[in-house]
Amino acid sequence: MTVNREVLNRMVKIPIIDFSLFTSGHATARQTVVQQIYQACHQIGFMYLKKTKISNDLINQVFQQSKNFFELPFTLKQQLAWSDEFSNQGYVGLERERLNPNNPGDLKEAFNIGKQKATNHTDVTDKLSIIFTASASPAKNPHILTFYGACTELANKVLQAFALALELPEDFFTTNHSQQNHTLRLLHYPSLSQSPKRGQVRAGEHSDYGSMTLLFQDEVGGLEVRTASGEWIAASPIPDSVIVNTGDLMERWTNHIFCSTKHRVMIPNDDRVKQSRYSVAFFCHPNDDTEIVCLESCQRHKSPIYPPILAGEYLLSRLQATY
């Protein structure tokens, strides 16, 4: 697929795409959306999707569940911290994560839920059932489980659009994501009553590790995206929309045809600093044994940039660097 370079160079804002035209539209409408998604992933790596079929009621329930959890005492939350060094599951305390290794720890806390934690009775969910009521248990709450499934379904649809945009069989990416090694992450950025450390922000500059991310955010804002020219632009909340961005493995897969864009969450310089910020991220990751090797359709104008790597090995290396 070819795109007018002059048009791309003018596209510095994050595009808003009606995704219902891909999931329910006729062939011409679907192809238009595929083209829009290609442009967004190639130029800036971020887009807003409207009309995704994930209901606002479900999203609101998930945000309320997240708020309930993060309002619990630290000692209780800490009992649900990661059980091993790089499990990528459970509670992550304030300042433990440092997305930009050159700055102090991020001013946020998180709770990570994977497929096993979202579907089975595991150690984490057993602890939760003992310590908290059902309404305060992120990994067992029925709204969380339903939301995980809805995000998986939406991610598969987006991956189908990616495949068509790259002239691949429509099921190419979904087949390589069949194990659902995804992580649902509840995030809380506490209000600030004192000045942060030098260089400290709510989430440091970083790119995401996997193939793509679905992001749901509240009205507080603070997310910023770095354009190809180096300019930071706001990815402000838009009602009834989901932010989608491509990650490192998709960038490697596509030989930089799709870009993995740096982004960050800044501390507000107005009264919003007194408000907590909440967001929910769904990190979509390929099967661990999937070999990420440059796609043939992405080698026409440039030789492969990266050597092959297994998706699971890459994720582990990035987690080790971050924590």
By CB neighbour count within 10 A (0-12 exposed, 13-18 middle, 19+ buried), where does 310 fall?
A: middle
**Model pLDDT, residue 101:** 82
**Model pLDDT, residue 97:** 81
Candidates 121, 96, 128; CA nearest to 109 is 96
- Residues linked to residue 292 through DSSP beta bridges, in sequence order: 309
Give the E-state strand segments of 67-211 in sequence order. Answer: 90-92, 109-114, 183-189, 203-206
**Model pLDDT, residue 149:** 94
CA distance 252 to 146: 31
**Model pLDDT, residue 116:** 59
**Model pLDDT, residue 8:** 39
**Model pLDDT, residue 199:** 85
CA distance 14 to 43: 10
Q: What domains sit in the chain, N to C, each tagged with a CATH number?
A: 58-322 (2.60.120.330)
User: Long-range contacts for 162-167 (Cβ within 8 Å, ≥24 apart)?
Assistant: 162/37, 162/41, 162/212, 162/250, 162/258, 164/30, 164/31, 164/34, 165/1, 165/34, 165/35, 165/37, 165/38, 165/41, 166/1, 166/38, 166/254, 166/257, 166/258, 166/295, 166/297, 166/298, 167/1, 167/297
AA identity, residue 106: D
AA identity, residue 196: P
CA dihedral 222, 226, 230, 231 (to 10 degrees): -40
pLDDT in tens, the chain (323 residues): 444 444 334 445 899 999 999 998 789 999 999 999 999 999 999 999 999 999 999 999 999 999 999 999 999 998 888 766 556 788 999 888 888 888 888 899 999 998 754 554 344 444 444 334 434 456 667 789 899 999 999 999 999 999 999 999 999 999 999 999 999 999 999 998 888 888 888 998 999 999 999 999 999 999 999 998 999 999 999 999 999 999 999 999 999 999 999 999 999 888 888 899 999 999 999 999 999 999 998 988 789 999 999 999 998 888 777 65
